[in-house]
Chains A and B, each alone.
Chain A
């Protein structure tokens, strides 16, 4: 890990000078457009994962069974995550220093991985325990907290 971080400035230097990076950085409409797509991807996550977590917490969407709520909402999460990865990658390529040297960026990535893993595990666990329970509620709360933190970290990357 240490050596990876040491070679980061060289990597950033190389990336910044690729024609692709220069295009993303200099064509004025690309970054705002890709950021908009990125925020709309987060809107898909929010619409799906918050409603699913609220259902797990028995706080909303009660007309759907837990399994039905999972089937209704989680596919949108699995669609939104690759969209976020792709748009996020474009933003990194256009401005590698902004994220790759920023500790908040790495914290955000760890939280995204954790949140995705939690939802994936909950989806699988619901097959064996369709009635849910305390563990499901606990992880629904963790998932909600993580997504709140992810959005804050994402916006704060611009300020740190």
Chain B
């Protein structure tokens, strides 16, 4: 099965059809998607700014991530689910949509940035947890994360304009 065939199959599925044909489903799923993604971006920014030593400087990094990330992941699950539902409803147009392709590529980049941070940089967190001079690798991860998530929002909005 090619990607196009999968997209056609998804679009023709009862789920894809009902979302596409309903006047209420698409805008409501889209609103929920925006709600979830704005919280994901806003709450990740709190952590990114701490990694950049720009805010929350009185909070140890590990405490901040422990308090915020569970909420962020819940919101991300909502954003991914609603995003998947929106995708199914117009799958063939989305796979051909250049801003959509960029958005997916940037999401993968954000995932790699996060994995690298957690699996490598964060392992030594006890050495710099309360420091206001975080290691360069942590700063780079924070700056990249901010840039990537802002671009993800930008490309996400752009999807509707092409």
Contact = CB atoms under 8 A, between A and B. Distances in A.
Interface of A: 28, 31-33, 35-36, 39-40, 42-48, 50-51, 54, 60-64, 68, 72, 148, 151-152, 154-156, 158-159
A61 B27 contact: no
B67 A46 contact: no
Contacts of B157: 32, 35-36, 39
A68 B38 CA distance: 23
A118 B86 CA distance: 34
Contacts of A156: 27, 31
| 6 closest Cβ pairs, A-B complex | A47-B42, A43-B41, A46-B42, A43-B42, A155-B31, A43-B38
Contact of A152 (B31, B46, B58, B68): B31
A129 B161 CA distance: 49
Chain A contact residues, majority secondary structure: helix
Interface in B21-80: 27-28, 30-31, 34-35, 37-39, 41-46, 55-56, 58-59, 63, 67-68, 71
A155 B27 contact: yes
13 contacts: A36-B158, A40-B153, A42-B34, A43-B37, A45-B42, A46-B35, A46-B38, A54-B71, A60-B68, A62-B67, A63-B59, A151-B31, A155-B31
Given A36-B153, A63-B67, A148 B42 contact: no
A47 B45 contact: yes
Contacts of B43: 46-47, 50-51
Nearest to B155: A36
B150 interface: yes
- How many of chain B's residues touch chain A, expressed as a range? 20 to 34
A45 B35 CA distance: 11
A155 B44 CA distance: 23
Contact of A48 (B42, B44, B63, B150): B42
B129 to A, nearest CB: 13
Given A62-B67, A151-B35, 20 more contacts: A31-B161, A32-B157, A33-B154, A40-B41, A40-B153, A44-B45, A45-B38, A46-B43, A47-B39, A47-B42, A51-B46, A51-B68, A60-B68, A63-B63, A63-B67, A72-B55, A151-B34, A152-B28, A156-B31, A159-B27
